[in-house]
Amino acid sequence: MKKTVTQLADGRELIYYDAGDAEARAAFADQRPLEAVYTTSETRFDPVQGEWVAVAAHRQGRPYLPPTNSCPLCPSTDQWHSEIPAPDYEVAVFENRFPSLSGIPAPADTLAGPLPHRAHLGGGRCEVVCFTSDHDATFAGLDEARVMLVLEAWTDRTAELCALPGIRQVYCFENRGNEIGVTLTHPHGQIYAFPYLPPKTARAQESAAAHRARTGRNLFDDVLVAERAGERVVLENSEWTAFVPFAARWPYEVHLYPNRRVGDFTRLDEAQRAAFPGAYLELLGRFDRLFTGRSAPTPYIAAWHQAPVTPGEARSELALHLELFTVLRTADKLKYLAGTESGMGAFMNDVSPERAAARLREVAG
């Protein structure tokens, strides 16, 4: 892998990842007259739920479904200067111009200010990951070599972002489809480096600690063993297993685990890396084949959960895994997060996990 680091006109970092030797990407300078990025992001603490909430009012002005000839994620041309100055690229990562997290180092004292109103400015970093220069591609349509390059980019960014001051967790994800709320249709994902522990990770950490105290075993290891022995396995190879979880929240939800537990992308060994592209592409392909008669690709969220940055026993108990789900329950019906889900956080699933797993096996490529 070749990594090329450069800057955009406003000082934001841009990184090109190429599978092999490529022309000097940094030779193409950003021609836009950009002003420095200004953010008003802050994080506020909810004392009732014990959770942090990011407030980023400046994001109201971000691009929304621009036409193809002015897509900010396509390579630059003589007629259009985008976020990618080079005329072509394989994988590119850059700091988001409209970040939910500000990038200013967070103060050492996370809980600043008097109760019940505690907040602080700054902290964290948001990046955009462009999987391909082809505007009309999808992740499922990439070849295995490109998926491996994306994996290398995720790994590199995880290592670098974990080393930044004040970062608690690095989260890689892809949103796809208008139904998800995607504002740019070019195939891309994002990486958030959180200055606080997100709620799902905090709860998983507590559950893993309680399971260890009760059984002497790792929670994620036990989940994987139980699921591999059951009826909800969707696909597996020598290094990875995908299954619909026993208590799936979404009508079609699949978790993908490496068969040997690791904390994050940086800990994957060569065998796990080599076996990843085929498994992931097949899984995404099955999501696109779920609903017959649908013209648009299946909308989904692909959420990569990694262990928190904080060293020690808590970090060693959590496991790298993917949670992939769609908001569709049929080809033309959405699973809305209505009164129980949005109001109480109590999910009500319309499809049994066993039936969802059977359907995902039926649409194997």
Residue numbers in the known binding site for Zn(2+) are 71, 74, 135, 186
Supply the residues annotated as catalytic: 188
Quote the CA–CA distance of 5 and 97 in Å, as a whole number.
17
**3-state secondary structure string, 39-105?**
CCCEEEEECCCCEEEEECHHHHHCCCCCCHHHCCCCECCCCCCCCECCCCCCEEEEECCCCCCCCCC
Output the six-digit token pair for 154.
């995720």
Vertex 190, ends 312 and 184: CA angle to 5°? 165
Upstream peptide bond of 198 is cis (omega within 30 degrees of 0): no
Output the six-digit token pair for 321.
């895994």
Quote the CA–CA distance of 324 and 339 in Å, as a whole number.
23
Q: Annotated binding residues, as ranges?
A: 71, 74, 135, 186
CB-based contacts of 103: which residues, under 8 Å, 6+ apart?
39, 95, 122, 124, 125, 126
What phi and psi values does residue 121 have, to the nearest 5 degrees? -80, 145
Residue pair 297/256 in contact (Cβ under 8 Å)? The answer is: no
Q: Do you know the residue count of the chain?
A: 365
Quote the CA–CA distance of 304 and 276 in Å, as a whole number.
13
CB-based contacts of 341: which residues, under 8 Å, 6+ apart?
347, 348
